[in-house]
């Protein structure tokens, strides 16, 4: 997927340049040797990952805004109509 889809799409993105960093979470499939080798070909020295150039900080509000914004919003919607009885 990286080589066949992501990289071609990235090349067409007007904000992409040599200073672009790649960030991924610490999921096992994202940090396999094959995945990291493929990412390091394009983003050598600019990888934020569990086994990357900069270690992925778990639960960082700066790097994982969905965990702190979207989930809080969704939780407020789900629990907005709490039943008063069982």
Which pLDDT does position 69 carry in this prediction?
Answer: 65
For the chain, which residues make up each domain, given as ranges?
5-79
The residue whose two tokens read 């610490």 is 26
Q: What is the pTM of this model?
A: 0.57
Euclidean distance between the first and the last CA atom of the chain, given in angstroms as a whole number: 47
Q: Which of 52, 29, 27 is nearest to 39 (CA)?
A: 52
pLDDT at 65 over 80: no
Which pLDDT does position 58 carry in this prediction?
Answer: 66
């Amino acid at each position: 997927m990286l080589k066949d889809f992501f990289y071609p799409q990235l090349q067409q993105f007007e904000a992409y340049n040599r200073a672009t960093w790649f960030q991924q979470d610490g999921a096992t499939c994202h940090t396999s040797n094959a995945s990291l080798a493929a990412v390091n070909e394009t983003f050598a020295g600019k990888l934020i990952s569990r086994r990357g150039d900069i270690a992925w900080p778990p639960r960082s509000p700066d790097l994982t805004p969905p965990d702190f914004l979207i989930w809080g919003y969704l939780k407020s919607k789900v629990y907005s109509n709490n039943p008063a009885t069982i």
